[in-house]
Copies of this chain bind each other. A is one copy, B any other.
Amino acid sequence: MQLSVRLPIYDPSIFKPPVVSSHTSTPRSSTPDLPSTPQSSRVRITTNESELEGSNKSNTPKASEGELNATWEMWDVIRSICNYDQRLSLTLDLTPPLPSSAGVLKRWAAEPMHSIFLPASTFIANAKGYPVLPKGTQTFIRDIMKYRPTVIVEGANKGVHSRGGETAYLQYVRHLEKTSPALQAMQQPGTVENFAQGYHDYLQAPLQPLMDNLQSATYHTFEQDPVKYRNYEEAIYQALKDWPESDRIVICVAGAGRGPLVARSLKAIGRSKRKAFVYALEKNPNAYVTLQDRLQREWGSKVDLRFGDMRALELPEKVDILVSELLGSFGDNELSPECLDGAMRFLKPEGISIPSSYTAHIAPLSSSKLFQETQAGRDVKTAETPYVVMFQAVNILSGNGGGLAGRCGPQVQECWEFEHPRRDAALDSQGLPLTNSHNTRSAKLTFHIPHAGVLHGLAGYFEAVLYGNVGLSIHPDRKDQISKDMLSWFPILFPFKEPLYLPSNSELQVTMWRLTNKRRVWYEWYAESFLPVWNAPLPEVKTKESHIGPVVNRHGSWLAPAATPVAPPSPVVDAIDLPFPSDRNVETPTRSSEDWPKTDIGLVKIGQTSLHNPGGRSSWIGL
């Protein structure tokens, strides 16, 4: 049995009487028959000024953040109590007008939206009398069409609108579907949306290309990327152009796979009109066969193939440019830092690494769907393993604001960076690092959560600088500038085992670690939530002229009198306790009562998760 809960999403301010200056206040004669907003009288917190400004054009009282949340809060309790059961879904009732805040609306994307309930009365008549929807509702429906909801139009046969009849509603809804930007993108070849069809919200285990040998089909998929190799070629080309004139520039492709970077290197050499030679290293015997074939057919003497692990192999000469593509969705999660540590031996001191650096980024995420998926295994292992996922039914909970105290960073924040070549590790006689401890990282990031939501995981992204201003990025805000339509990497998801409820205007502090031992690399993560509160004014402290303060005696003990007079004989008889703090005058610093703040904003911790994947118990990458 499936159960779909029909809930209205609306702007509660439409049910508020307008504000006038007179004192005549008449009770409402009739109240529209609408669901009540539970807790609206209890939940009354500060509204986000900037966001609600748009709707502040009249003197109708603005709905508070708590009121705007009321429907979602109701839903959240229902599905939490039902333990995110897969049979429970949501039907959004669009009868009343929608709230104008995008932040309030986008949370529904993270919920199991099954249907949309759209009565004929919600449609307005256009100039010709045909039923159409208000602009805000149009935008909302176009946006959620990508979730393929069932649209239920009610009362189409009641003649609410003068023109078009029953079919006009259907025609209009189909029009919205056709003009949905997300659906249009899905139909256009070459876009990520088109490429990712069938992968949306599907959990994939990240690749272990170092421990496992990739299959030919996997290489084939990656080689389809129209953008990645173009940018690599451009980076190699620019590096070659910047390199001082030379009879022989040596390029090394570390991890050549089936050869796309070798081919791009040769193209870049041709374009740059430099004299250059390419070493191609590969440890996967299956890919190596292809490389040998291509050498014979395409590359000839311009390339020298070498079989083996870049951490163990030797080259006959030092190289000028080291090219590698070892990046994972989180940058370092396929062990690019460790592999390049092994290959840096080949590079001349002034040599160039492509990529030259990469960074890992996270954002807090809500998704009923993904939480259901990571919980489906019913064991801790599947619930705290990172997954590669093309996000669809998700909502990023963080906002770009700094939070009330200005402590919070942007919506997506950088965890850490790796740079190549790096010169700070202690190396052995072969030029290899003695330990891997220089590749550990940690980050503590604070996010502002403008609207209440439930934290289910962290969305992870990477950004890489290949060379100069050429890069690769899956950072949601920057990917289109840096590497639009790149297909090779979906984001990564670090799930939380237990949902963490976050109220509106709260702050989420995420701590992440990249840890390592001799055989493995793994991530651990943990979060704490805080709420800014206004303190009530502190009670007035009566001030006296006396200087008083703590007493520290010569033994470092507080309040211990230096000597006490003679008295009863038992060793266990009490001392006379001095009033505390002592009222004797001692040399202590003083502070004016006026220095104490009367009212201010403070942060109260309100929740925390457990530590995820401690010691790499559930997930690790083999070295």
Contact = CB atoms under 8 A, between A and B. Distances in A.
Interface in A549-603: 549-550, 552-553, 555-561, 563-577, 579-581, 583, 587-596, 600, 602-603
Contact of A608 (B164, B501, B552, B556): B501
15 contacts: A18-B548, A19-B590, A20-B544, A21-B592, A22-B592, A25-B592, A26-B590, A58-B579, A59-B541, A96-B558, A121-B557, A132-B572, A160-B557, A452-B605, A501-B607
A560 B569 CA distance: 94
A531 B534 contact: no
Contacts of A184: none
A123 interface: yes
Interface in A487-518: 498, 500-501, 503-504, 506
B526 A81 contact: yes
Most buried by B among A20, A531, A555, A572: A572
Contact of A44 (B125, B559, B594, B600): B600
The 8 A-B residue pairs whose C-beta atoms are closest, nearest first, are: A127-B567, A44-B602, A121-B557, A130-B571, A121-B555, A21-B543, A606-B606, A17-B591
Given A28-B588, A121-B557, A501-B608, 12 more contacts: A15-B550, A21-B544, A21-B593, A32-B556, A43-B603, A59-B543, A83-B610, A83-B611, A128-B569, A130-B570, A130-B573, A534-B535
A189 interface: no
Of A558, A583, A600, most B-chain CB atoms within 10 Å: A558
A565 B61 contact: no
A535 B505 CA distance: 12
B560 A45 contact: no
B18 A58 contact: no
A500 B80 CA distance: 15
B589 A29 contact: yes
A148 interface: no
Nearest to A131: B571
A263 interface: no
A163 interface: yes
A139 to B, nearest CB: 11
Nearest to A129: B564
A67 B548 CA distance: 20
Contacts of A18: 547-549, 581, 588, 590-591
Nearest to A549: B18
Contacts of A560: 121, 123-125
A581 B61 CA distance: 11
Nearest to A507: B42
A46 interface: yes
Interface in A1-53: 13-29, 32-33, 39, 42-46, 49
Interface string A116-149: 0001111111111111101100100000000000
A266 to B, nearest CB: 51
Interface in A426-452: 452
Interface stretch (A167-175, A237-245, A278-286, A327-335): A167-175
A259 interface: no
A581 B594 CA distance: 47
A97 interface: yes
A45 B504 contact: no
Contacts of A589: 17, 25-29
A77 interface: yes
B591 A128 contact: no
Interface of A: 13-29, 32-33, 39, 42-46, 49, 55, 57-61, 66, 73, 77, 80-83, 95-97, 100, 119-132, 134-135, 138, 160, 162-164, 168, 171-172, 175, 452, 498, 500-501, 503-504, 506, 526, 528-531, 533-536, 539, 541-550, 552-553, 555-561, 563-577, 579-581, 583, 587-596, 600, 602-608, 610-611, 614
A31 to B, nearest CB: 10
A20 B590 contact: yes
Nearest to A168: B571
A575 B132 contact: yes
A383 B597 CA distance: 45
A538 to B, nearest CB: 8
Given A14-B581, A589-B26, A573 B127 contact: yes
A19 B124 contact: no
Contacts of A39: 603, 605
Contacts of A121: 553, 555-557, 560
A257 B348 CA distance: 91
Contacts of A163: 571
B574 A126 contact: yes
Nearest to A174: B572
Contacts of A594: 23
Contacts of A23: 592, 594
Contacts of A581: 13-14, 18, 58, 60
A493 to B, nearest CB: 21
Given A19-B543, A83-B614, A531-B604, A571 B126 contact: yes
